[in-house]
Amino acid sequence: MTAIPIGVTVNGSDHTFPEPISLRALLETLNLPCQGVAVAVDGALFPKSRWDEPVGRGWEIEVLTAVQGG
């Protein structure tokens, strides 16, 4: 049985992965930080406790970093 590629959008850019991938591995593969960030999936906060779960096809993922300002 052939795996169906996983297509997702990360920070507005489309990406395809040949096999299931966890959110944590996706961030590492794309050289995005895993510390000091929040992740939203389809507009809702995705808790860090779930980052080892596989991403779903078609997810819209936003990696958000805190910005200090005054």
pTM of the model: 0.86
pLDDT in tens, 14-41: 999 988 999 999 999 999 999 999 999 9
Residue type, 2: T
Q: Give the span between the Cα atoms of 48 and 29, in whole angstroms.
A: 17
Dihedral sign for Cα atoms in the order 1, 24, 10, 30: negative
